[in-house]
Amino acid sequence: MDVNTVDKEEGLRLLVAITCYGTRNVDMLRHLIAQYHAMTFDVDVVVLSNVPRDLGPRVRVIVGMPSSDPWSLPFAHKAVLADNVFDYDLFAYSEDDMGVSEENIRAFLKLSPLLAANEIAGFLRYEIDEAGTVSLPDVHGGYHWKPDSVRKRGPYTVAEFTNEHAAFYLLTQKQLAGMID
């Protein structure tokens, strides 16, 4: 299936795994779920949680920690994605406070075919405060672009970022299958 041209009517399937620990971001989580379900893609949402949650009939909630370490919950999505690698065209992992738009996903789909086999398009996190000021917390910190990684891919210039932590990422089925192999 060509993920670059597929929409809901043509069957593009997106599996989203969202990690939610505690209660601080529950309202944001509900907002994110609504955003995903409003997309034109066929979207299934799985929430990985430390406690039971009622998030409606269209959301599967998996309760339990991968280990006794509370920081292990963000790694629980790996098994969910791997177990479904042949059932979806796209796979997203997100923390419960990371929004993404359909436009962001379509930009990923547009760029991905131009990348080398060992490259995956990433996303830069940004925040907007009450005054409307935009900040890039990951860029304004101690992270930066790796100068020797700059490459041209079609009309785009790409580079690797030093922060490998991803509170959100997106993979095609081919990319996920390659990582599993």
Cα 120 to chain center, whole Å? 12
Mean pLDDT across the chain:
88
- What would the pLDDT profile of 137-153 be if each residue is shown by its tens digit? 877 777 888 999 999 99
Q: CB–CB of 80/17 below 8 Å?
A: yes
Q: In this predicted structure, what is the pLDDT of residue 123?
A: 85
Q: CB–CB of 73/65 below 8 Å?
A: yes
With a pLDDT cut of 90, the percent of the chain lying above it is 57
Lowest mean pLDDT among 51-55, 161-165, 169-173, 175-179: 161-165
Residues 6+ apart with CB under 8 A from 181: none
CA dihedral of 101, 171, 123, 65, whole degrees rounded to 10: 90
With 50 as the cut, is the pLDDT of residue 9 above it? no
With 80 as the cut, is the pLDDT of residue 64 above it? yes
Residues 6+ apart with CB under 8 A from 115: 121, 153, 158
Q: How far apart are CA 168 and CA 23, in angstroms?
A: 19
Kindly state the average pLDDT of the residues 125-129: 86
